[in-house]
Amino acid sequence: MNQVPITALLAPLRQALASHKQIILEAPTGAGKSTALPLAMLDWPELDGKILMLEPRRVAARSVARFIAAQRGCELGAEVGYRVRGDSKVSRHTRLEVVTEGILTRMIQDDPELSGIALIIFDEIHERHLSTDLGLALALEVQSSLRDDLGILAMSATLSGLPLTTLMPDAKLLQSEGRSFPVTLGYSAPGKRDWLEHMGASLLELLSGKGMLPEGVAAGTVLAFLPGKAEIERLAGVIAERLGERLGDIAICPLYGELGNAEQDRALSPDPSGRRKLVLATNLAESSLTIDGVTLVVDSGLVRQAAFNPRTGVSRLALRRISQASSTQRAGRAGRLAPGYCLRLWSQEEQDRMARAEEPEIARGELVSMALECAAWGVRAFGELPLLSPAPSVNETLAWELLHSLELVDAERKLTPLGREAHKLGCHPRLAHMLLKSRLLARELDDPLLAPLACVLAAILEGRGLPRLGADISNYLRFGTTGQSAQQVRQWLAKLGLSADLAQVQREAHPRDMGLLLALAFPDRIALARGQQGFLLANGTGVSLDESDPLSQAPMLVVADFGETEGRSSGRIWLAADFDPRWLDGPLAFLTLEHDHSGFDEAKGRFVAERQLKLGQLVLKRTQLQSVPRALKTAAWLDRIRSKGLGQLNLDEDFQQICQRLDLAAELLGGDWPDCSEQGLLARLEQWLAPYLEQVNNLEQLKALNCARLLEQGLNWQQKQLLDEALPTHYPMATGTRAPIRYEADGRALLRVRLQEAYGMAQTPVLAQGRLKLTMELLSPAQRPLALTADLASFWAGPYVEVKKEMRGRYPKHLWPDDPAGTLPTKFTKKKTLANSAD
């Protein structure tokens, strides 16, 4: 450990801690920042208190803690320990505690002064996990207001694209060299071949020795990066089959988050039989893990990433190309111990097009739990915290709205008494609401097993690595009553002040009760069957279920878990329970709402109205109304116009002209003018059209509305006066004629007038306070177009000469002077003009 590059920074770092309480350390892969640094800090007497180190992943937290404990020669859980969700090895003697999975956030919330903590280390901060971003923000808040002696050390493999120095401008910046051996890069795109098949063939070449390795690279452990568990299991099966008899020489080791501790340790450690290893891993192997003997990396270049969809309220899983930063991290794993080789299963050109860094989780994840943490901390918006990146406003708003609907925060986003209890439970707010409400319902319904059953369901929903046993959650009860899940159930029961025989809970669980309980957590996911098209959720999302699944025949469901995938029009149900609608007449009646609805019956040609009992967007019951209230009729017309478009209205030439004038007014005059685009008109139907719809009973009457006049009546007096003055419908000629002006879509204003009436005009008239020149369409005495000009002076001096020659012969009775600009205008023949002049 004394040979790793980070040792060169130990003295400067120790000095920096004496004068700075915020330090940023940039140290590439292999520098020893996750192991040698905290190991050395245990011997620094000036750190008078415990050291907390945040690792984003559970596997890394356990691995790092075990390694440092071994280096100190102590038992894990003594001087060095770890704490992750569902597993911990700590004692009152622990001085270095490696934590993850929101544990740090919980510690800060429980003890804002962080009593006994001297330093918090944030490792692998460049991975931008949501819990890391939130933990750092809360730690900075504690440091600035309660503990100015608290040290914060933020460590990252790279600062590229990471705004740490902006968030902590006074922090001391230290940089370390990485310790890595040269890694030769190779590229092999699959072309038209299936990428997983191509990856399997590439791995078999390396394992069989057929693939040529660069000079100096030993055939050690092969680390392969894949998107997820499904691909790992599929590829492991293919390779095992292809290796055949040689399989005895190769240890195939999966490595992903859902694996148990023993299987994860097997992937990290040397093979007990001395076999060569093939480690098939997700992107968790990018972090602070040391995998024995890795000299070869095969990278699929793919990651399965969840992105929250605010429309449906769930996260959509999709395969994504990794970033350049991630590809660098993965390649670096091959050079930790010796010269290595990384085979990238894409082209060099693709590498150059990849994003520089991964998108932070706060920008794409569900934010409900974070909103509850913010409420518990006493802030009303994420922006009040010193976060590395802002959250999307729509995702944040939806998170607060869900907490409010679950009665966990009030209208001012303050934690309610129920919200305080929910936060103490330490689970997702939806599940916390189910647990707390189940305790109340158990008393009302005199059912002592109801709350324990809720705890079992919550453990199933928070569990990892469940087998596929269909969508019915009752098929998974045994997984919620055994192992770590049972331990979690008992912890929740203790916090609720309850106890139960879990075997009895599993044995006596009734599907009707499961539907009730899940509805407390997912009221927006109560679903109604819709024939062959699956189910419609209360939030308006369509979901489907395999026809062979028994739940597919249920009239109503509660969907606890469903997913969206690219290329599918509806979500896929993963976990659900049958729902008894009679609960909506009892303890869940508060979820329903009576709503009067009116619509236009196309077949009958008239309006119909009904009173609906609704649950979200689900209509549970309909009762016909004998008469249609005016307000309902107006709302129905507006719905119809919005769904079918403005084409149902009388959008005649007058309407087009008022719209063109208003658009020009907004462009040339400034100020607040109505938006006359289709989107703008539809958005403002309530303002300009709705007041006139109450008496409209059929389509003919709708079509008869003078929409141009209605739109103009929506202007205030000042707007009307300014529009008529600056952009009039007619132009007053000296002859007394009010010549019409046509406003066109390209912004041109066209004045149509007989040429003789334009005599005496030296320049083209202007509108809009001098900002718009009229384009003059000059007509013959027979009202035929002669010329089009926006520069009257140039026309008189040039083209008019040719027009005059031609028109004198065709219209000899009319005036065609040589000096039109100096001639009095007329709308009569020469004889009548002279007679008028004589008079």
Q: What's the chain's average pLDDT?
A: 89
Average the pLDDT over 216-238 and give the result. Answer: 91
pLDDT at 640: 86
pLDDT at 245: 66
Q: What's the alpha-carbon Rg for the chain, to the nearest Å?
A: 37
What's the token pair of residue 835?
């007679």
Reported confidence tier of residue 563, pLDDT bands at 50, 70, 90: confident
User: Is the pLDDT reported for residue 422 higher than 80?
Assistant: yes
**pLDDT, tens digit (0-9, with 9 covering 90-100), for 282-309:** 988 777 677 888 999 999 999 988 888 8
Antiparallel, parallel or unpaired: β 50-54 and 96-99: parallel
User: Is the pLDDT reported for residue 133 higher than 80?
Assistant: yes
Residue 52: name the closest of 99, 113, 100 by CA. 99
| CA separation for the pair 376, 373 (Å, rounded) | 5
Average the pLDDT over 353-376 and give the result. Answer: 92
pLDDT > 90: percent of the chain: 61
For the chain, the distance separating the N- and C-terminal CA atoms, rounded to the nearest angstrom, is 116
User: Is the pLDDT reported for residue 1 higher than 60?
Assistant: no
Reported confidence tier of residue 576, pLDDT bands at 50, 70, 90: very high
User: Is the pLDDT reported for residue 4 higher than 70?
Assistant: yes
Reported confidence tier of residue 605, pLDDT bands at 50, 70, 90: low
DSSP H or E stretch at residue 143: helix 130-145
More confident residue, 84 or 837: 84
pLDDT at 398: 94
Q: For 362, left (φ over 0), alpha (ψ -120 to 50), or beta? A: alpha
Side chain identity at residue 563, one-letter code: G
User: Is the pLDDT reported for residue 317 higher than 80?
Assistant: no
Q: Which of 77-86, 393-402, 630-639, 803-812 has the lowest mean pLDDT?
A: 630-639
**pLDDT, tens digit (0-9, with 9 covering 90-100), for 108-130:** 999 999 999 999 999 988 888 89
Hey, is 696 helix, strand or coil? coil
User: Is the pLDDT reported for residue 623 higher than 60?
Assistant: yes
The pair phi, psi for residue 599, each rounded to 5°, is: -150, 165
Compute the half-sphere exposure of residue 356: CA atoms within 13 Å on the CB side of its CA: 5
| CA separation for the pair 450, 454 (Å, rounded) | 6
Reported confidence tier of residue 682, pLDDT bands at 50, 70, 90: very high
**pLDDT, tens digit (0-9, with 9 covering 90-100), for 466-476:** 888 999 999 99
pLDDT at 440: 94
Q: Which of 26-40, 138-152, 305-319, 338-352 has the lowest mean pLDDT?
A: 305-319
pLDDT at 408: 96
pLDDT at 178: 67
Reported confidence tier of residue 179, pLDDT bands at 50, 70, 90: low
